[in-house]
Amino acid sequence: MALINYASREINCKLVFYGTGLGGKTTNLEYIFKQLAPGIRGEMISLATETERTLFFDFLPLDLGSVQGFKTKFSLYTVPGQVEYNASRKLILNGVDGIVFVADSQVEKMAENIESLRNMEENLAEYGLTLDSVPFVLQYNKRDMPNVSSFEELEAALNQRGVPSFEAVAVEGSGVFATLKAISKSVLNRLS
């Protein structure tokens, strides 16, 4: 839930990037971090294992300036993609204001995408939340890979709610800011 401090006129929102292991969640945050001026972003905190997978979370605070007289800040987190870290995944969703589900477009990753989406819904339920109660967008990442599901196949399998969805190649930045803009706008619209 967004923290609104009327005394300091600040709004702090939490965005979580959720998805499969090695699907591109951390790559999204790394690209955002590299593209934004230091005055807009904070330091990126990333905890990784020897295999370069995120073990706990990535965190990137963003200052998006003033919205209706309130200084607006977004904190971006990723969850570990591996199911064995489900306790961390669940903990990171606590207090979430918006979710970007990063799906790996490769054909062989479809079952993992579906499992991760289901896992996310179960973890949200632990906090009394559903995907209908939290702003949510989909990002179909790795569109540059040779063996990817079509956009239509991804939509049919993952987007039953008809939420905004974006094709992306996060390593190149394609679709990264469109995704971030859509989830940020959805969160801010929910607050007003």
Question: pLDDT value at position 33?
Answer: 86
**Residue 24 has which token pair?**
């591109």
Whole-structure pTM value: 0.91
What one-letter code names the amino acid at 155? E
Question: pLDDT value at position 55?
Answer: 41
Question: pLDDT value at position 56?
Answer: 43
Into which CATH architecture does domain 3-191 fall?
Answer: 3-Layer(aba) Sandwich (3.40)
Q: What residue ranges do the domains of the chain occupy?
A: 3-191
Mean pLDDT in runs of 10 for the chain (192 residues)?
A: 83 92 92 84 69 52 75 86 82 95 98 97 97 97 98 98 98 96 92 77
Contact (Cβ atoms closer than 8 angstroms) between residue 157 and residue 116? no
